[in-house]
Each structure stands twice: as structure tokens, then as C-alpha cells.
Structure 1
Amino acid sequence: MTTAPGHPPAVRQGLRDPLDPDPARSTKARAVFALGLIAALTGVFVGGIVPATVALQLCRQARREAYASGGFLTGAVWLRRGERLAWTGLGLAALTLLAVVVIAVVRLADAPFTQDFAPNVN
């Protein structure tokens, strides 16, 4: 087979097996993104720890399933975004807990170590 100069050669795609499933977006990818978003929004209130943990576990499962599907499960972009949001939520929760501990230590440092009695008590 010859081609005219300047034209790329025609590449023939292999026929798909009729038993192969159609590519579909993983439903876990949507769940990971939603939970990651909730974790990022509630991370400052320390409520983001639970959805972030669930999102990271689902992300791990979804990656395993996508690898096993041989490319028929899509949604890797949503998984990455959800995972980043989940880690952001965990980071915000950790910063909030760190701030609370620092404030508690500073307040404890200002408190007297001994009991202060009234001047008329021996």
C-alpha cells in the first residue's frame, strides 16, 4: 500500500471484541471526590478527618479496581482531585489540632502552679 506524499499513512485500528465492556467512569471516583471536598471544607472544624479517611480508603480501592479492569474504568482525574482534597482536609485538621494544643499550653503556662489562698488564711 502506498500513500501520496505529504499524507500520513493510514493506521488501521484493531477491531474490538464484542464481549469487552464499554469504558465507564468509576462510581468510586465520584465518591472520592465528594468525600474529599467535604473533608477540605470541614477540615478546619476537625470534622474533615472522617470523610478524608474514607476518601483515601476508597481511592485505594478504586485505583486497584481501575488497574484490574484493564482501562475500562475511567475517572483517574477525579480520583487525583479527591485524594488531594482529602489530604488538604487532613492537613487543615492537623493544623487546627496543633493550634488548639499550642493555645492550651500557653494558657497552662500562665496559670499559677500553687493554690492561691486569701491573705487571712494561714
Structure 2
Amino acid sequence: MSKKYTIQKTPFVVPTNDGKLIEEHFGNATDGNSQISIAHMIAPPGWSEPFQTPEFDEYTYIINGKKQFNIEGELVTLVAGESIKIDKNTRVQYSNPFDVECEYLAICLPAFSIDLVNREES
């Protein structure tokens, strides 16, 4: 009888050069699932990435610290225990301009793909 569940003990650690930890538990890089990606992330103080206009909905849940979102020119800050859904095709920039790291979960529908993120040149 085949199992009806999957336990992830070795997430794919996405290589970065900005100090951010990205551990994809399920998604394109880990198990080839293009429908959803679930990642645990830690953004160091002072971290930011370029604006992007993803072709996927992105849900973020803050575990510790706080994170700033520039959503089409509106600055939104979330703290531990808060969450947000950003609709696909929305121009957004993610950052942690604060003095403490931010730990959070990100869920993308469909799954995160570098081909769907549409990052702008920095």
C-alpha cells in the first residue's frame, strides 16, 4: 500500500548571495510540484530585493520579526502573527529594513518559478 502523505525532512536550500535563507519544503525545486510552493525564509536585517510582478498569488505569514512590503507604492509592515495575500500580477518589493531578522513562511500558487517572478533590474 502506498503512503498518502509526504514528510519533508530535507528541504531544498535555494542558493542566495544576499544573506537570505530560503528553504523550499514543497515546490518546483524540491519535488517538481508546479501547483504550490511552501518555503521557510529568514531575511537578515537590511535585506531587500528588487521590485517584481509575479504571475502567482503569494501568501506570507510572519513567524518572528517584521517585514516590509511596497505594494504598488503603498508601504505595508507586518509583524509576528500577521499574514498577507498579494494577488498575482501585482508589483511588489519585499524588504527587511529593520534591525532584527524576519522569519516567515511563503506560499505561492502556482509554485514559485524564476520564470514567473518577473524581477526588475536593480
- TM-score normalised per structure 1: 0.21
More strand per residue: 2
- TM-score normalised per structure 2: 0.21
More helix per residue: 1
Q: Rg larger in 1 or in 2?
A: 1
